[in-house]
Amino acid sequence: MSVWALTGGIGMGKSTVASIFSRRGVWVTDTDQIARDLVRPGLPALDALVRQFGGVILAPDGGLARDKLAAIVFSDSSARRRLESILHPMIRQEWQQQVQRQQMAGATLAVVVIPLLYETEAESLFDQVVCVGCTPRAQMERLIQRGWSTEEIHRRLAAQLPAEEKMARSHKVLWSEGSLGILEEQVDRILR
């Protein structure tokens, strides 16, 4: 089985591309979703985060208040490193187990959406790296449409490698600034 990483900067179209792969019958898992699943109430990851950052990161229902945690870790690089040291090994273990199950089920291709591929030094675990890219202007417009402030966008971008570096280090780049049809054609081309 071939295992591909799908990466790129925030707001560059990874979810759209993942959806296209999925519609083409490719098995896809998303490390952001894995991270959300790992921090559900009562699970060890959430308990570890509360021990590290305190109860201030909890929502009234006992779940993770992601916005409160984000405010802490995107304004303090040491806090972000502490968060990553807790979650990244758990996330990696989970996606690797999922890929292994797919391989045992006979899948021929697996795609792992992993925004922090290079930051976590995981690229060697993949047969191919596909990066989704767009211009900084398009990225900014997309993130503003999500309701993020300019300050929040800049803090989050500063926490990742520049998109240009991700694209340069990848095997293939998909450009997400055209129609959905053009993006689908790009995906189909690399699948061939």
Render pLDDT for 30-86 as a digit per residue (tens, 0 to 9): 999 999 999 999 999 999 999 999 999 999 999 999 999 999 998 898 999 999 999
pLDDT at 79: 94
Domain extent for 73: 2-191
Give the CA distances from residue 58 to residues 45, 49, 53, 63, 68, in Å, rounded to whole numbers and listed in that order. Answer: 13, 10, 10, 6, 8
Check pLDDT > 90 for residue 5: yes
Higher pLDDT, 185 or 74: 185
Q: In which band, very low, low, confident or very high, does the pLDDT at 6 lie, cut at 50, 70 and 90? A: very high
pLDDT at 81: 93
Query: Count of CB atoms within 10 A of residue 17's CB?
Result: 24
How many independent structural domains does the chain possess? 1
pLDDT, tens only, 137-172: 999 999 999 999 999 899 889 888 999 999 999 999
Give the CA distances from residue 116 to residues 1, 36, 85, 113, in Å, rounded to whole numbers and listed in that order. Answer: 23, 15, 13, 9
pLDDT at 84: 94
* Nearest by Cα to 36 from 65, 12, 15: 65
In this prediction, residues 168-190 reach a mean pLDDT of 96
- CATH number where 38 lies: 3.40.50.300
pLDDT, tens only, 92-144: 999 999 999 999 999 999 999 999 999 999 999 999 999 999 999 999 999 99
